Structure 1
Amino acid sequence: MPGNEPVLTAAQMRQAEQALIAQGVSVDELMRRAGEGAAEWVWRMAAGGSVTVLCGPGNNGGDGYVIAQTLHARGLSVRVIAPMEPTTDAARNARARWTGDVITDADGAGGRVLVDCLFGSGLSRPLLPEHASLIAELAAQHQRIVAVDLPSGVATDDGVLLGDVVRCDLTLALGAWKPAHFLMPALSVVGTVKLVTIGALPDEFGALFVKSAPRLSVPERGAHKYSRGFMGIVGGEMAGAAQLASKAAVYSGAGYVKLFAAEAPPNVPSALVVESGDLAQALGDKRLSSLLIGPGLGRSEAARNKLAIVLGTNVATVIDADALHLLDDDLLEGVDTTRLLITPHEGELNSLCKAFGIEEKTKRKKAEELAARTGMTVLAKGPDTVLATPDAPTMFFPPAPTWLASAGTGDVLAGIVASRLSTGKNSLEAASEAVWLHAEAARVAGPALIADDLAAAVPKAYARLL
């Protein structure tokens, strides 16, 4: 992606389209742009094979008639199935321009590509049984499935599946990205996602963004280990997690990484410095630029005391893993929470919401409310990753390799985040760069990776983002 791109809810997309219409672009013209742009992708996937377009009653169905006519004009064999009549003027106009037949059922339908234009975005209730059965039957009779805007049955704003939804090979986002393109469980059914532009959308409608790849930098001429960032990791009961976080941190840009623990874990880079002794005294080093606490910390009273000491410093801090289960209002009292960045997975996010009295149901809303409630930056990680702060637009990220679903990869991410934070990045920059580095390291490490492979792949991933 060339830059950070807006992610619009269904209501915001309607507003953006109305703004284009107010500028003199007709609904029919917007439909033509969307349909012809989508047809380009369907044309590639069809590779000369036959195409079936399933059209619904609204403007998503109108897009389907434009796709069908565009592909037919290029010489493809195209069948249109429409179980309902068009209900909007633009959809009726698009159907009138379709020069082929329209059938209402799946009898005899089959081919290379099925294009789902039944409902798309804006759906708020489950499909009728007959519509769900029709899509399922058609999907079974085609080799590839393309959804236009969203697979029918996906809720636009939160990615919830409104019943059984057919898994697609390709989803074509029309005009702008929608939240469901980056959120589970919708991510499990959308397949590859591509953006089809319909014109320059006004900026004021976007309160959400998808984060593009960062451009990392090399150390400045004359840099030294402290100017590049002095990072501290607070160890605990389990050495393995601290080992992974430490290894990732050393490779992620910080000039000096120190582990505060009773002893060094095995198999860590020799560049890692290990210091034992009084933690409060050690954290008094004014040269520290970031801290990480949580991986392998444990949840004992001693662990809680360590967290309290860390929170009592004035150092930018990443809180992860066990430390997230210890965090509460009592520990945060009097703390400048704007310097805190937390990295919960789904279960930890739910635990935090319970601790802070947050009852939101979706991941995005939980992360946003937790950030607003506490003042912390929230990197809610997982197959879908959401980055929320109290005073900046919420960010989504392109999906990372699914091989990251492995023990210890979260410790690696925490080490990368804290390392980026130590280099002088603010919390949003550090977190977003870390998410991209983490995903790129997974691509470098390749299939069947384990967390050790992931940490070792960070330098090559860093090189790819220079």
Structure 2
Amino acid sequence: MRYAHSVEAVRAAERELMARVPEGTLMRRAAGGLAAACAGMLGRVYGRRVVALAGSGDNGGDALYALALLARRGAGVTAVLLAPDRAHAGGLAAVRAAGGRVIDAGAGGGAGGGSDGGSGGDAADGSEGGAAGVSAGDAAGAAIARADLVLDGIVGIGGRGGLRPDAVRLAAAVRASGAAVVAVDLPSGVDAETGETAGEAVRADATVTFGTYKPGLLIDPAAQYAGAPRLVDIGIGPYLPAPVAEALQDADVAALLPAPTGESDKYRRGVVGVVAGSARYPGAAVLAVSGALRGGSGAVRYVGSAGDAVIARFPEALVSAGRPSQAGRVQAWVAGPGLGREEDARAVVAEVLAADVPVLVDADGLAVADREAIRARRAPTVLTPHAGEAAALLGVDRADVEARRLEHVRRLARELDAVVLLKGSTTLIAAPDGPVRINSTGTAWLSTAGSGDVLSGLIGSLLAAGLGGRDAASVGAYLHGLAGRAAPVPFGAHELADRIPLVRPEGTGGR
């Protein structure tokens, strides 16, 4: 499991640990991990050019110390200071002692400290030093243009809003250079707490974060700027409180997945009822049933007007044209995909919500479901909106949901007293309390018609097998994303369900 903590929690843990260890211990640990990650990306360190963009905070200090370590391994290093008078003194001294070059990014007329040569290859020819007629901006741009790797230590985890103009100029130079970019703790310009990007931000190939993940590293839109996140243990783990977010990994999914035993029958494996499809959208019923069958359910009872289409594709399905209450025994219901929004749709969704078994509501079901009926339920309830549907339920603009996904998924879960799976390039799963689950196994190719119908059936099968709402939604999203990655592209939603068994880790449970 990957765990993410708030900025306040990280800072409190760091303060507690710093009171117990010699001064500078945490920064040395962070810098050592950062330098090792950079060395791994470079492959060969000796003779490579590395530039650090260093702000005034501890992230800038981490970048400077890591730069000094790389210099001692033979890299040519340059520190570009965005606030020279507030740069980390110890880190700056370490860079100079290692022979690195130092440039003032904002001042005109030369690079501060640029006379230091040593192992810093960029300093050897003097072209970016304090020569007359060469501005610091030109020197910084030239150093970046020649870099093999750039360290982003501009802004720390407390930063808010986008990059300032001087940093925007440097970030543009980095993009133009084609150098690999490693963000220190998180990409500058993104919000560590929410994943918002309110303006320009650095786009990294990898982010080396310290002590714990920050939510913004795992949540879009900021996750798209973080590249591959890598965690460096600096020892604060024992001092951290409960996480605000977490992300399942293969071992977690394998432990949660139910598996049949010798004593299993279809009811022990779980029978899921599917209320989906209409004369206009019969395919939604077929897709939801496919997800339920491939999700491991013992049987699927389909209720609705698309029975002929369902039975033609899945002869094992138990088809009924009556009401949900007349279909027979089920251990969970899935309601909504392709159902339409007519009065009859409202009636069948209301009937499903009144059942004393777990219920998943998706798509049209979200539009016709009564909010009070959702809140009044005692059995687990899972809602699976995309951003537009979540916005309608909350009474806000879709753009507002997309910009602050973490905030809105929590709010919707609390308001409706249900588990909410907010679809997107990173899927968020929130219960009324506890950490938000983050799933990033998906692919942009999953943004195809009917993909969500398969997901609904898949989660429904896990609910019927006995998983709680939060676990069923999290595991379903994880497998759905992996199935999308495994499918040859481009693919249609009908191809997804058959990929689910191929990506399913072996479960350790028994039903």
Return the TM-score normalized by structure 2: 0.84
For the residue of structure 2 that corresponds to 1:52, the secondary structure is strand
1:362 to 387, 404, 429: 404
In 2, the alpha carbon distance for the partners of 1:138 and 1:294 equals: 47
Partner of 2:29: 33
Work out which of the residue numbers 296, 304, 315 in structure 2 matches 1:270: 315
SS at match of 2:267: coil
CA distance in 1, matches of 2:36, 2:204: 17
Change (3 A) 1:178 1:102: same
1:253 positional shift: 1.2
- Name the CA shift for 1:448/1:276 in 2 (closer, same or farther; >3 Å): same
Gaps of 5+ in 2: 105-136
Is the counterpart of residue 108 in structure 1 residue 147 in structure 2? no
Q: Deviations over 1:284-341 (max 9, x none)?
A: x3x31100001111111111111111111111100011111122335447x3155211
Question: Quick one: distance in 2 between partners of 1:27 and 1:86?
Answer: 22
Distance 1:26 1:350, change over 3 A: farther
Q: In the alignment, is residue 258 of structure 1 matched against residue 301 of structure 2?
A: yes
Higher Cα Rg: structure 1 or 2? 2
Whole-angstrom CA distance in 1 between matches of 2:451 and 2:79: 46
SS state at 1:150 partner? coil
- Post-superposition, which runs of at least 4 consecutive aligned residues in structure 1 deviate over 6 A? none
The aligned residue for residue 187 of structure 1 is: 223
User: What is the CA–CA distance in structure 2 between the aligned matches of 1:317 and 1:300, rounded to whole Å?
Assistant: 20
SS in 2 for 1:457: helix
Structure 1 CA distance, aligned partners of 2:487 and 2:249? Answer: 21
| Corresponding letter in the other structure for 1:378 | V
Matched, 1:424 2:466: yes
Deviation at 1:86, TM superposition (A): 6.0
- 2:303 touches 2:323 (CA, 8 Å); kept in 1? no
Question: Separation in 1 of the partners of 2:497 and 2:23?
Answer: 50
Structure 1 residues 265 and 140: CA distance shift in structure 2, 3 A: same
Question: After alignment, is 63-72 or 13-22 more displaced?
Answer: 13-22
Q: Does 1:156 align with 2:192?
A: yes
Q: Of residues 90, 94, 97 in structure 1, which corresponds to 2:94? A: 97
The 5 Å alignment of 1:55-66 reads 55-66=54-65
Aligned partner of 2:447 in structure 1 is 405
Query: What residue is the counterpart of 2:69 in the other structure?
Result: 70
Find 1:139's aligned residue among 175, 181, 184: 175
Two-structure CA RMSD over aligned residues (Å): 2.1
**Cα distance, 1:146 vs structure 2:** 1.4
- d(CA) in 1 for partners of 2:38 and 2:283? 48
**Superimposed CA distance per residue, residues 62-88 of structure 1 (whole angstroms, 9 cap, x where no aligned partner):** 000111011112222222211212637
Say which of 280, 283, 302 aligns to 2:325.
280
TM-score, length-scaled by structure 1: 0.92
For residue 249 of structure 1, what is the aligned residue in structure 2?
A: 292
Give the drift of 1:271: 2.0
In the alignment, the residues of structure 1 paired with residue 298 and residue 497 of structure 2 have an alpha-carbon distance, to the nearest angstrom, of: 17
- 1:209 is matched with which residue: 228, 246, 257? 246
CA distance in 2, matches of 1:294, 1:327: 9
Flag structure 1 segments of 5+ consecutive residues without an equivalent: none
Distance apart, 1:32 and its partner CA: 1.0
Q: Give the superposition deviation at 1:425.
A: 0.9
Q: 1:170 is matched with which residue? A: 206
SS at match of 1:81: strand
Cα distance between partner residues in 1 of 2:469 and 2:23: 41
Q: Aligned partners of 1:26 and 1:369: how far apart in 2?
A: 42
Determine what percentage of the aligned residue pairs are the same residue: 32
Among 42, 49, 53, the residue aligned to 1:46 = 42
